[in-house]
């Protein structure tokens, strides 16, 4: 993390995501008005009492955006964490548990990749009931092949190295090798994939709630607010801007964080960081070196 924060792109991404996380934690308490309370001031413009105006039922848009941030954040985190657990663990084990386990997990990963996860999530909701948690769980499982392939590729690069083969000859267990050698190589690419998947999760949650799936009105969500505002463009043409901007900025910050992690990980990233530290310690050499990010 310190090396990520050494990049301007990393600092910006972390700052934006920290604000979004605070909105998810404190949004319901920061909302100046009841997000479900209706009034006679329908489709009102922005004012001192309604900072972003009101919707077609007279509800305060700013309060609904704050209150709805928790659903988007929790849903995207659920997608990413489920995908990480379901994909990364079999990806690492497929290198060590024999050809049968490897063949089965590879075929499962190929099958999951072929399934359209949004349509599959809608089908699961139709079977299990209209709940966002089960939809995000299934979506995370469908996204898991990304983590499977990333973890497997990183593990293969380590498993074929001379020092790991020497450890196996010396009698080291698979668990020891994973903890001692594989983990160091696997964590950076998994961190990149995790940041990207959180952004994908935001898009999926917003898409489902835009369609009215997973969370039923009048519960506020960013996708639901975007959908309702699109129906009143004639009266409030600026209405969809706030929820759309929140979704776009959050996904952009996730991708920016993934790029920053990729820039500082690996041999090139470590060499760049070491060079910067050496230049900073040397008097009279304050020229920044940029590669994927700036000081």
Query: Which pLDDT score, from 0 to 100, does residue 116 have?
Result: 79
CA distances from 103 to 58, 115, 204 (A): 57, 19, 30
Does 71 have pLDDT greater than 70?
Answer: yes
In 10 A of CB 114, how many CB atoms? 9
* Nearest partner of 138 among 104, 112, 108, judged by Cα: 112
- In this prediction, residue 131 carries a pLDDT of 75
CA–CA distance, 212 with 205 (Å, rounded to integer) = 10
Q: Which residues, in sequence order, are CB contacts of 25 under 8 Å at separation 6+?
A: 70
**Mean pLDDT computed over every residue of the chain:** 84
pLDDT at residue 144, as a whole number: 93
Q: What is the pLDDT of residues 151-164, one digit of tens each?
A: 999 888 888 788 88
Q: In the predicted model, is pLDDT for residue 252 greater than 90? A: yes
CA-based max dimension of the chain = 78
Instruction: Quickly tell me which residue has 């657990």 as its tokens.
Output: 85
**Mean per-residue pLDDT, 205-218:** 82
What pLDDT, on a 0 to 100 scale, did the predictor assign at position 97? 86
CB 225, CB 72: distance < 8 Å: no
DSSP state of 49: S
| Distance set, CA 226 to CA 46, 63, 240 (Å) | 17, 14, 5
Q: What is the pLDDT of residue 277?
A: 57
pLDDT per residue as tens digits for the range 34-54: 888 888 888 888 887 888 888
- Per residue in 162-184, pLDDT tens? 888 788 788 878 778 888 888 88
Instruction: Examine the pLDDT at 287 and tell me if it is beyond 70.
Output: no
What count of residues does the chain have?
Answer: 295
For the ranges 18-27, 47-56, 212-221, the one whose mean pLDDT is highest: 18-27
Average pLDDT of the segment spanning 180-194: 88
pLDDT of residue 76: 92
pLDDT value for 295:
40
Residue 50 is predicted with a pLDDT of 83
Instruction: Give the pair of three-digit tokens for residue 226.
Output: 């975007």
Q: Is the pLDDT of residue 18 over 60?
A: yes
Query: CB–CB of 267/273 below 8 Å?
Result: no
How far apart are the C-alpha atoms of 262 and 4, rounded to whole Å? 9
- 285 or 63, greater pLDDT: 63
Round to whole Å and give the CA distance between 150 and 154: 6
Query: If one looks up domain 2-264 in CATH, what number appears?
Result: 1.10.3720.10
- Cα separation, 249 vs 259, in Å, equals 15
Q: Average pLDDT for residues 14-33, to the nearest whole number?
A: 91
- Band the pLDDT of 128: cuts 50, 70, 90: confident
Please spell the DSSP secondary structure of 145-160, one letter per residue.
HHHHHHHHHHHHHHHT
Ordered by start, the domain boundaries in the chain are 2-264
Q: Which residues contact 196 (CB under 8 A, 6 or more apart)?
A: 254, 255, 258
- Full-model pTM: 0.82
Would you state the structure tokens that stand for residue 86, as one six-digit string? 């379901």
Burial class (CB in 10 A: 0-12, 13-18, 19+), 225: buried
Cβ atoms 75, 201 nearer than 8 A: yes
Residue 251 CA to residue 18 CA, distance in Å, equals 13
For the chain, give the percent of residues with pLDDT over 90. 32
Helices (H), the chain: 2-5, 8-30, 61-93, 99-114, 117-128, 132-143, 145-159, 162-169, 174-177, 183-210, 222-230, 241-264, 266-281
Q: What is the pLDDT of residue 294?
A: 45
């Amino acid at each position: 993390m310190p090396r990520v924060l050494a990049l301007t792109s990393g600092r910006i991404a972390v700052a934006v995501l920290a604000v979004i996380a605070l909105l998810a934690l404190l949004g319901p308490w920061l909302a100046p008005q009841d997000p479900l309370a209706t009034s006679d001031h329908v489709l009102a413009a922005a004012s001192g009492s309604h900072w972003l105006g009101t919707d077609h039922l007279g509800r305060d848009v700013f309060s609904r955006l704050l209150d709805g941030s928790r659903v988007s954040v929790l849903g995207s985190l659920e997608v990413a964490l489920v995908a990480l657990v379901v994909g990364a663990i079999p990806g690492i084990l497929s290198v060590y548990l024999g050809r049968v386990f490897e063949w089965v997990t590879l075929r499962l990963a190929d099958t999951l990749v072929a399934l359209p996860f949004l349509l599959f999530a809608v089908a699961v909701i139709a079977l299990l009931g209209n709940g966002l948690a089960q939809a995000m769980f299934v979506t995370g499982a469908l996204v898991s092949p990304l983590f499977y392939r990333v973890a497997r590729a990183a593990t293969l690069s380590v498993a074929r190295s001379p020092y790991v083969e020497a450890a196996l000859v010396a009698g080291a267990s698979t668990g020891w090798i994973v903890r001692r050698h594989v983990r160091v190589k696997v964590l950076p690419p998994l961190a990149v994939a995790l940041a990207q998947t959180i952004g994908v999760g935001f898009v999926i949650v917003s898409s489902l709630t835009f369609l009215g799936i997973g969370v039923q009105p009048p519960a506020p969500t960013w996708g639901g607010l975007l959908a309702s505002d699109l129906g009143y463009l004639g009266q409030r043409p600026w209405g969809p801007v706030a929820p759309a901007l929140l979704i776009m900025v959050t996904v952009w910050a996730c991708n920016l964080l993934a790029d920053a992690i990729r820039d500082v990980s690996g041999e090139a990233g470590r060499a760049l960081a070491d060079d910067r530290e050496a230049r900073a310690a040397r008097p009279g050499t304050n020229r920044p070196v940029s590669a994927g990010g700036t000081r």
